[in-house]
Amino acid sequence: MDFQEEELSQSDSLIGTVDMLRTNRGVLLEAALDGAVNVQCSRCLRDVHCPVSLEIIEEFQPTVDVVRGTFVAVDEEDAALLINEHHVLDIAEVVRQALLLEVPLQVLCREECAGLCPICGQDLNLGLCDCSQEATDPRWDALAALLVEGELS
């Protein structure tokens, strides 16, 4: 599977086991998958490699009765949990949702990441920019504080 979300992309393939059990209503899916994604550091926006471990237990429902071939009334709210009219059970959406829940909201490339300059956007891990010298002037401090505030809101 290939994930490309706004803030994360897939790094390593998801590998693991998927078991399917027949139930009264449909098919119970049990999956245990390991892989890794790249998430942006919330300070400097660099990609951070983030291992993930997914445990998924979901019941899928058929949209077509396999014996009679007629359509079954289903809850459209659970679109990710439906087996389509060609009897295909697609786990992509369920895995995507589990992945988004698993990835931490705040990721730092390292604890002491210096982040980006709020004025010019330079990555301060790579060195100080010119703004940081001017920022010793108290008038600039007030402006920098405003900009930082603006970034956070």
Per-residue contact track with Zn ion, 69 to 88, x per CB under 5 A? --------------------
Strands 82-83 and 47-62: parallel
- Answer whether 41's CB lies under 8 Å from 109's CB: yes
Q: Does 117 bind Zn ion (CB under 5 A)?
A: yes
Q: Which of 64, 129, 144, 147 lies at the binding interface for Zn ion (CB under 5 A)?
A: 129
Question: Shortest distance, CB of residue 122 to Zn ion, whole angstroms?
Answer: 5
Q: Does 148 bind Zn ion (CB under 5 A)?
A: no
**Looking at the DSSP assignment, which residues form a beta bridge with residue 19?**
30
Residues 6+ apart with CB under 8 A from 147: 118, 119
Question: Shortest distance, CB of residue 116 to Zn ion, whole angstroms?
Answer: 8
Map residue 148 onto helix, strand or coil.
helix
Question: Shortest distance, CB of residue 12 to Zn ion, whole angstroms?
Answer: 21
Look up residue 67 and give its DSSP letter. T
Q: Which of 119, 143, 144, 147 lies at the binding interface for Zn ion (CB under 5 A)?
A: 119
